[in-house]
Structure 1
Amino acid sequence: MKLWDLAHSRTGDKGNISNISLIAYDPKDYELLKEKVTPERVKEHFKGMVKGEVVRYELPNIHALNFVMYAALGGGVTRSLSVDMHGKGLSSYLLDMEI
């Protein structure tokens, strides 16, 4: 099953840091997301893109996880040669993860 079956996502950025939220459509799926979508799995999923640490924050009141990915944007908006300098497409890529 793909994450997009259980959740939606939003992405933000600050410098070379990408911030991705993963929000369960149904609150009953939040525990499954917590179990399956670990910082290690996210780092592996973004292998080659995310050079730094991945930190996960849990937001149980809104059934969401927030992943902060360091060294993820090729140096940041003003330095990156990437077509998606802000990393807005990273949320779609996360939702493509198989769990």
Structure 2
Amino acid sequence: MTARRVTLHEIAHARAGDKGNRLNLALFVYDPADYDAVVAQVTEQRVLETFAHRGATRVRRHLLPQLAGMNLVIDAVLQGGVNGALNLDGHGKSLSFRLLALAVTLPG
């Protein structure tokens, strides 16, 4: 079998939560067999680059292997937070979809 390129949306789901100007994105793959490939490719650096346009300054990744998931804590991404941001989504709920748009390669 050959490797295949997919978006995270095809193989995982995500939830978002926020505190002030910090966002938590929890990412869980549907099939634990895909977990190692996702861990290898959804790195702190890649997530930081994905959210750089929103001013993100730091990403911390906490792996949850027993749940085939990870929690990503992203600093300064909410443009001031719900009370300070001028954007339409100060809570950051839709930012999980930005993460799910990332492409990864799964082994064949």
Q: TM-score, normalised by structure 2?
A: 0.88
* Aligned residue in 1 for 2:71: 66
Query: Which ranges in structure 2 are unaligned for 5 or more consecutive residues?
Result: 1-5
When the two chains are superposed, the root-mean-square deviation of aligned CA atoms in Å is 0.8
Aligned to 2:27: 22
Identity percentage of aligned residues: 42
Which residue pairs with 1:51 in the alignment? 56
CA deviations over 1:55-75 (Å, ceiling 9, x no partner): 100001111011000001011
Which residue of the other structure, out of 35, 38, 42, is the alignment partner of 1:33? 38
Unaligned runs of 5+ in 1: none
Instruction: Give the Cα–Cα distance (whole angstroms) in 2 for the partners of residues 50 and 34 of structure 1.
Output: 24
Aligned length, in residue pairs = 99
Is 2:23 the partner of 1:7? no
1:76 corresponds, among 81, 84, 100, to: 81
Alignment match, 2:98 = 93
Please identify runs of 4+ aligned residues in structure 1 that moved more than 6 A: none
Q: Which has the higher strand share?
A: 2
Instruction: Give the C-alpha shift of residue 47 in structure 1.
Output: 2.0
The letter for the 1-side match of 2:84 is R
**C-alpha separation between the residues in 1 aligned to 2:55 and 2:30?**
26
Checking the alignment, whether the CA contact within 8 Å between 1:43 and 1:50 is kept in structure 2 is no
How far apart are the structure 1 equivalents of 2:59 and 2:12? 19
Higher-Rg member (1/2)? 2
Contact 1:50/1:69 (8 A) holds in 2:
no
